[in-house]
Amino acid sequence: MKISVELSLYPLDDQFLPIIQDIVERLMGDKRVEAIVNTMSTQIFGDFESVMAVVNETIEYSFKTYGKQVFVAKFLNSDVKPD
């Protein structure tokens, strides 16, 4: 099954930009999924298992590395990647 996830990160830190940049770079560099970045979120597309693994690993890494933050995610059970 294909899935699309829109993930937004809101670090609770005054130096939030480097945190966001690190997480976006990790998502963009993961070859298991396709990711598109815009000003408000990162959209992740691919196979259900791969996308969920990437999201899970990314959130765990971010929490352990950067402390308190808010992730907002939207899930759609279809690949709605723009052409």
pLDDT one digit per residue (tens) for the chain, 83 residues: 999 999 999 999 999 999 999 999 999 999 999 999 999 999 999 999 999 999 999 999 999 999 999 999 999 998 888 87
CATH dotted code for 2-76: 3.30.70.930
Q: Are 54 and 33 in contact (CB under 8 A)?
A: yes
For the chain, what is the radius of gyration of the CA atoms?
12
What DSSP letter does each residue of 55-81 carry, written as one string? HHHHHHHHHHHH-SEEEEEEEESS---
**What pTM does this model have?**
0.91
What's the Cα-to-Cα distance from 20 to each of 11, 12, 32, rounded to whole Å?
Answer: 8, 11, 20
For 42-59, what is each residue's pLDDT tens digit?
Answer: 999 999 999 999 999 999
- DSSP at 38: -
